Amino acid sequence: MKPTLLVLAAGMGSRYGGLKQMDGVGPNGETIIDYSIYDAVQAGFGKVVYIVREYFLEQFKETVARKYSHVKCIDGSPLEFVFVTQELDKIPARFLPLNPERQKPWGTAHAMLMAAEVIHEPFLVINGDDYYGKESFRIAADWCRAHENTRGVYAIVGFELDHTLSESGGVSRGICHYDADGHLTDVVEHLNIIQGADGVVTGDNSATGEHVVLRGKDLCSMNMWGFTPDYFAGSAVLFEDFLEKNSQELKKEFYIPYAVDCMIRSGEASCDVLSTPARWFGVTYKEDRPAVVAKFAELAREGVYPTPLYQ
């Protein structure tokens, strides 16, 4: 069984005034998505599902066809690509029409639901503009293969907090709390997380407003989740419940952590916390870009990746 990689890319064009996922940061113009797909293929993934917006679907398809047409899975078969779109009106008909002033998409968990008809195997969800590292994809792929015939068991790949910080300013991170068996109990959002000159990491607990000291080895969520396909049915029910309360709201969004938390609390599912030693990086601030470019250049020099990445 080859698991599927689900790439959340629908929000990128609007956030960056263009397709940031096309922004070259590697030595030969490689994008962060290029590296994620390379790592996923090496880990044994066999299909990539992109969630994009309709207005840049054709441009995205053309770019993918040009870059990856010769990429093979580790068993020699062609890597499969599927595209689905997330739009505001892709919701159950009884909740239409929407508030005409609504512009924000419905969030990451709604985006995932767009792929319900094209994924029938365990799968991994990632952000299109985040670098997760080779080890993370191997860990996730092993989990997916081990859960081919299970239901109601999901996973989050947790990154050590001090492997996710930005030198350009404070960041927001969801700190994972889990029980003695390694099952997620909740994810607590912390804001304005920075590491001081003394090495101490601090942030603001969004639930209590308290300014707290955090541990660098605390595991945090970078939106890298493993699911079995039964997730979609449960999430669809939760989305309808969400819309009952929020269909006319302008900004409320239906997020993956919220859906997972609801399923954990109802006893419908459990969520394994998987720890990765990898260092996450991405362009949180425009000032982060030069450091990201330098990091990919270093990885190429060290032989971690071939250069160019795709021949």
Secondary element (H or E) of residue 65: helix 57-68
Asked whether residue 311 is assigned to any structural domain, the reply reads no
Asked whether residue 309 is assigned to any structural domain, the reply reads no
Asked whether residue 239 is assigned to any structural domain, the reply reads yes
Is there a contact between 231 and 256 (Cβ–Cβ < 8 Å)?
no
Asked whether residue 41 is assigned to any structural domain, the reply reads yes
Which pLDDT band, with edges at 50, 70 and 90, does 19 fall under?
Answer: low
Which pLDDT band, with edges at 50, 70 and 90, does 13 fall under?
Answer: very low
Read off the CATH number of the domain in which 103 is found. 3.90.550.10
CB-CB neighbours of 144 under 10 Å? 25
| Predicted confidence (pLDDT) per residue in 128-139, tens digit | 889 999 999 999
**Helix 256-266 × helix 231-246 angle, to 10°:** 110
Domain extent, residue 89, equals: 4-301
In single-letter form, the type of residue at position 140 comes to: A
Asked whether residue 306 is assigned to any structural domain, the reply reads no
Q: Could you give the number of structural domains in the chain?
A: 1
Sign of CA dihedral 105, 111, 113, 114: positive
Asked whether residue 76 is assigned to any structural domain, the reply reads yes
pTM for the model: 0.93
Asked whether residue 249 is assigned to any structural domain, the reply reads yes
Q: What's the pLDDT score for residue 169?
A: 85
Asked whether residue 235 is assigned to any structural domain, the reply reads yes
Which pLDDT band, with edges at 50, 70 and 90, does 21 fall under?
Answer: very low
